[in-house]
Structure 1
Amino acid sequence: MCPCSRCIKGNGGPVDDYRVIADELAADIASGQLPPGSRLLPLRRYARQRGIASSTAARVYRELTRRGLTVGEVGRGTFVRTSAPAAEPALAEPGGARVDLELNFPVLPGQPAALAASLAPLLRADALGAALHPAVAAGTGPARRTAAAHLARGGWTPDPRQLLFAGNGRQAIAAAIATLVPAGERLGVESLTYPVVKGIAARLGVTLVPLAMDDHGLVPEAIDAAPPLRAVYCQPALHNPLGITMPSARREHLAETLRRHDIFAIEDAIYGFLRTDLPPLAALAPERTVVADSLSKRLAPGLTLGFLMTPEGRTQDFAAALRSGAWTAARFALDAANRWMADGTAAAIEADKRRDAAARQRLAAAHLAPHTLQADPHAYHLWWRLPEPWRADTFVAAAARRGIAVTPSGAFAVGQGHAPNAVRLALASPPLDALAEALDVLAALGRGTPEDAGAE
């Protein structure tokens, strides 16, 4: 039954199992009967209307929140969210009106043709025959050397002997966490972090410890103040969602802190290709850092490859984790990626994406002015600190009602701490004209209030 302010009283008797009622409401949300931004009735009123105890109604509302379907705001009520939690977002249906500023997978015009031309020799019977065999975590010698040269940046080049391959970047991160942090132990993460890491840690039985951040990224002193950690996961370059890039002095301080505590860093370098001028943290603390990277953002998520650059003496440990987790790369993907990296196709596409990301940042700055934005000018995403009286989830719901998907700050928050009133905008997916139009709509929303936007 619909508990929003437009609903009518149900025709059934009281239902004691709160999960049955929650399932009905979830179906109403999925069907659009309860659209994003709808405000649910106050608990007591809904309980009276449904003929159930207030405690049962409270459990229904908590269950909807647990499923990621609603969000409560103190003093304002409970609202239907724009979508399921952003840790595992779903792509818009082809041809739909939804403008996706939630996912960040740039595929540029002309890119499929370039990749296909490079891939053509692999489709010969003799070459394809080799690609049909399974791959090991270490890949092949030529593939390691090619990948090491391709992943080099800022004067740093990984040692090919310490390079391993995963199916994608998420699997590389999972293997790194599984290797360094036993079940029941603690992993330090930035207080706002890549949402998938939260899911990986939960599946591996790892406890996440949020670490303070400032305008330069992770604060090393937060590691000193934290309970004993087995490792730290961080994003020194183009942090997701904040867009922060750690300056050299902060990286040096972090490297010294890792050595002092005798712990490792898992460095997420997925966006590092957009800042080729900066070396990774691994250049300063190679014995304390494992670097995770992939081709998902560099090229495309549909046919990708993950990389793990491991500390000396620990490569076999990470290889064992890749094997036991079934996270090793497919041989066809390995051979295809090796061709793209070896013949310059990947490098050319990445250079185009660096220009594209910079152009999209300029577009966003122009269309969202004078709102408070935080972004690296090289990044494919930005962080928008919303003006009062907006709250993140209410803004997300109002944007969804206008066909625009954005991500609230709560998707990135770790632990029970307060999530800031901010949203992340992923700029990579829409065509430039659609992006400009969507940014204009969002800017107008920000200049108004939830009441103006019909979010009440």
Structure 2
Amino acid sequence: MDDFRLIADRLAADISEGRLRPGDRLPPQRRFAREHRIAASTATRVYGELVRRGLAVGEVGRGTFIRAARPPADPALAEPAAAPIDLELNFPLLPEQGELLAKSLGGLIRADALGSGLQPTTPSGTAAVREAAATALRRGGWTPDPGRILLAGNGRQAISAAFSALAGIGERIGVEALTYPVVKAIAARLGITLVPIEVDEDGMRPDAVRAAHRATPLRAIYVQTAVQNPLGMTMPAGRRQELADVLTELDLPAIEDGVNGFLRADLPPLLALAPDHVMLVDSLSKRLAPGMSLGFLVPPPQFAERVAAALRSGGWTALRFAMEVATRCMADGTLAEIEAAKRRDARARQEVRADCLAGFTVRADPGSYHCWWELPEQWRAETFVAAAARRGIAVSPAAAFTVGAGHAPSAVRLALSCPPPDRLRAALEQLAGLARGTAEEAGIE
């Protein structure tokens, strides 16, 4: 019997050479198994491998479609008109930030600076990076104690360390019913069970946290209080206080993901309301750039050593050179300047989105780089994703963010940060026209 990866390789070649086009529907898995004389379980693994590689999108029983190709790493290698428009990835990079970073980091080429960056380090890093990070993490009048800050290689590693410190194999962490997809992968690798918690227009519901914990105790919750991914909402002050009160009542820890919080710097984090129960995680990946990231954790004192041990044992401790780079950018004002420019850019892009998708049901913080689009009733998310792929536009279906076995809503998340503004407008106008029609009109049967 062929290894499922070899079959996936052949399908990947068909996609690369144009025999399978974006938007094409793959046959049902049982029929695919019969045609290729393989077990149904092998067909399932083939389709799963295509999804894992980012070549297909879909769910068992609902259809699997070839998705739009990724743009090349160097945009100069592709014809601009033919390059797909990426509304999946959300890493904002501004044209002017390269020059700003070059000025900030020029001194690192000196021998003494390089020597410092090559030294070993610990999860607590250096006093300089902690002081700079405390200023960078300041929001809504709240500033962390520099002595409580720990460092990871990036935000994902910070989340991994937090999960590992608070829950063991088979234990439960509550998360928003629609959440950041990487959290699902992290939990799976650590053997942690995620429990979906209901949300409303203000974010995670405190009463739902209480009910889930009383049904079967949770070890912690994971929550995004500012510019939630994928739903786009920002938790108002009243809801934050209610959630903080429930955490204190239940003596339940929370992991607060603040990676998008810099886009709403006017609001303090949940940690400010429940400092003994909330661990803040953050990073420079979106604030600065994915290739120049550093992760931050601000744990309650009683969890500090456990988090530090998790960083060491997981291999998630930040490199000293990355700390040196980040310290310079944070301390000299470069990071603050780039953040302010990104806040302006995100609001401008949301204005474009509001104009192009007027009349549709769309949820977004006005300062966010993404939005949640509840599709018209004639569309299912996976079918719409396939139809968009045929037009060279990559979007993310609701199923990518759904926790548990529940039905995914008919919605898509649009990431707005990557395309130039003119291409973003063109893509949104195409999607709006597509949504006003039907799958049959779009050639998706």
TM-score after normalising by structure 1: 0.89
Alpha-carbon deviations, 1:350-408, whole Å to 9, x = none? 00110000000001110111221100000000011111211111111111111111111
Q: Is 1:220 matched up with 2:200? A: no
1:382: which partner in 2?
Answer: 371
Counterpart selection for 1:135 from 113, 121, 125: 121
2:63: which partner in 1?
Answer: 78
1:296: which partner in 2?
Answer: 285
Measured in 1, the distance between the counterparts of 2:137 and 2:2 equals 58
Contact kept? 2:68, 2:390, Cα under 8 Å: no
Q: Which runs of 5+ in 2 are unaligned?
A: none
Counterpart selection for 2:300 from 308, 311, 315: 311
- Counterparts in 2 of 1:137 and 1:35: CA distance versus 1, 3 Å: same
The 5-angstrom pairing of residues 381-420 of structure 1 reads: 381-420=370-409
The 5-angstrom pairing of residues 90-105 of structure 1 reads: 92-95=72-75, 96=78, 97-105=83-91
Counterpart selection for 1:444 from 426, 433, 441: 433
Q: Is 1:171 matched up with 2:157? A: yes
Q: Which runs of 5+ in 1 are unaligned?
A: 1-14, 85-89
2:261: which partner in 1?
Answer: 272
- Counterparts in 2 of 1:60 and 1:26: CA distance versus 1, 3 Å: farther
Contact kept? 2:398, 2:413, Cα under 8 Å: yes
Q: Is 1:261 matched up with 2:247? A: no
Report the CA distance between 1:448 and its aligned residue. 1.0
Measured in 1, the distance between the counterparts of 2:32 and 2:408 equals 28
Contact kept? 1:19, 1:60, Cα under 8 Å: no
Counterpart selection for 2:189 from 179, 197, 203: 203
1:234: which partner in 2?
Answer: 223
Which secondary structure does the structure 2 equivalent of 1:270 belong to? coil
- Counterparts in 2 of 1:325 and 1:79: CA distance versus 1, 3 Å: closer
Q: Is 1:111 matched up with 2:97? A: yes
Counterpart selection for 2:22 from 23, 36, 42: 36
Which secondary structure does the structure 1 equivalent of 2:267 belong to? coil
Measured in 2, the distance between the counterparts of 1:17 and 1:330 equals 38
- Counterparts in 2 of 1:120 and 1:33: CA distance versus 1, 3 Å: same
Moved more, 311-320 or 172-181: 311-320
Measured in 1, the distance between the counterparts of 2:36 and 2:111 equals 69
Contact kept? 2:4, 2:46, Cα under 8 Å: no
Contact kept? 1:373, 1:383, Cα under 8 Å: yes
Measured in 2, the distance between the counterparts of 1:301 and 1:172 equals 14
Alpha-carbon deviations, 1:133-187, whole Å to 9, x = none? 1221111112211210221111111111100111111111110000011122111
Alpha-carbon deviations, 1:85-117, whole Å to 9, x = none? xxxxx6644334011111111111110110110
Measured in 1, the distance between the counterparts of 2:173 and 2:392 equals 37
Contact kept? 2:153, 2:294, Cα under 8 Å: yes
Root-mean-square deviation (Å): 2.2
1:454: which partner in 2?
Answer: 443
- Counterparts in 2 of 1:72 and 1:278: CA distance versus 1, 3 Å: closer
Paired amino acid for 1:251: R
Counterpart selection for 2:358 from 360, 365, 369: 369
Q: Is 1:424 matched up with 2:404? A: no
Counterpart selection for 1:63 from 45, 59, 63: 45
Moved more, 418-427 or 95-104: 95-104
Report the CA distance between 1:24 and its aligned residue. 4.4
Alpha-carbon deviations, 1:235-282, whole Å to 9, x = none? 011000000111111111111111222221000000000101100000
- Counterparts in 2 of 1:60 and 1:394: CA distance versus 1, 3 Å: farther
Paired amino acid for 2:45: E
Report the CA distance between 1:61 and its aligned residue. 4.5
Q: Is 1:341 matched up with 2:330? A: yes
Measured in 2, the distance between the counterparts of 1:275 and 1:27 equals 44
2:237: which partner in 1?
Answer: 248
2:131: which partner in 1?
Answer: 145
Paired amino acid for 1:225: A
Paired amino acid for 1:98: P
Which secondary structure does the structure 1 equivalent of 2:349 belong to? helix
Paired amino acid for 1:165: L
- Counterparts in 2 of 1:73 and 1:170: CA distance versus 1, 3 Å: closer
Report the CA distance between 1:21 and its aligned residue. 5.6
Measured in 2, the distance between the counterparts of 1:51 and 1:116 equals 54
Measured in 2, the distance between the counterparts of 1:51 and 1:314 equals 53
Paired amino acid for 1:82: R
- Counterparts in 2 of 1:66 and 1:161: CA distance versus 1, 3 Å: same
Paired amino acid for 2:96: G
Contact kept? 1:81, 1:396, Cα under 8 Å: no
Larger Rg: 1
Measured in 2, the distance between the counterparts of 1:343 and 1:23 equals 48
Alpha-carbon deviations, 1:288-315, whole Å to 9, x = none? 0000001110010111111001112322
Paired amino acid for 2:378: P
Paired amino acid for 1:189: V
Counterpart selection for 1:185 from 164, 171, 174: 171
Sequence identity percentage? 58
Report the CA distance between 1:71 and its aligned residue. 2.6
- Counterparts in 2 of 1:45 and 1:235: CA distance versus 1, 3 Å: closer
Which secondary structure does the structure 2 equivalent of 1:382 belong to? strand
Ranked by relative contact order (alpha carbons within 8 Å, sequence separation 6 or more), the top structure is: 2
Paired amino acid for 1:166: A
Contact kept? 2:23, 2:388, Cα under 8 Å: no
- Counterparts in 2 of 1:137 and 1:21: CA distance versus 1, 3 Å: closer
